[in-house]
Amino acid sequence: MVYFSSVTRNTDRFIAKLPVRSIRLPLRTSEPPPRIEEPFVLAVPSYGRPGGAGSVPPQVVKFLNDAPSRAHLKGVIGAGNTNFGPLFCVAAEKVAAKCQVPLLYKFELMGTDEDVEKVTQGLEEFWPAFTKPRE
């Protein structure tokens, strides 16, 4: 799991509840993003701006602009705030559409226990298609 979390750490708190290996994208755009060389799911929060412009954090854009890392993206999970109405989790929708991968799940703020259970179960079902036993 690769994810971005702002200084509020809402997404970070959610990811910490999942039984997965994870890598947090740097908080500052001046820091280099990691290079990912294995299949991953991206968790991305949305930011509320009129019409959804600028909803994808620039740190996520910078990370996804690295084609070798982007090639391993297999799905997206969205974090957001239902106060955004129809723009709830719009960043995840945009990333999924642009990268042509499935939008796997949406949760609000730092998620609920039910969200954690659903994402954990969903990832357990999703990953076997992209992983192979080590020889």
Predicted TM-score of the model (pTM): 0.91
Q: What is the DSSP string of 63-88?
A: HHT-HHHHTTEEEEEEEE-GGGGGGT
Ordered structural domains, the chain, with CATH = 2-129 (3.40.50.360)
Residue 98's pLDDT is what? 96
Strands 2-3 and 40-45: parallel
pLDDT value of residue 76? 98
> For position 83, what pLDDT does the model report?
86
Instruction: Decide: 57 and 90 in contact? Cβ < 8 Å.
Output: no
* Residue 23, pLDDT score: 97
Share of the chain above pLDDT 90, in %: 76
The answer to whether 58 touches 92, Cβ cutoff 8 Å, is: no
For the stretch 18-76, pLDDT in tens is: 999 999 999 999 999 999 999 999 999 987 666 666 789 999 999 999 999 999 999 99
Give the pLDDT confidence score for residue 84 in this predicted structure: 83
Starting at the edge strand found earlier in the chain, the sheet holding 103-108 runs 23-24, 2-3, 40-45, 73-80, 103-108
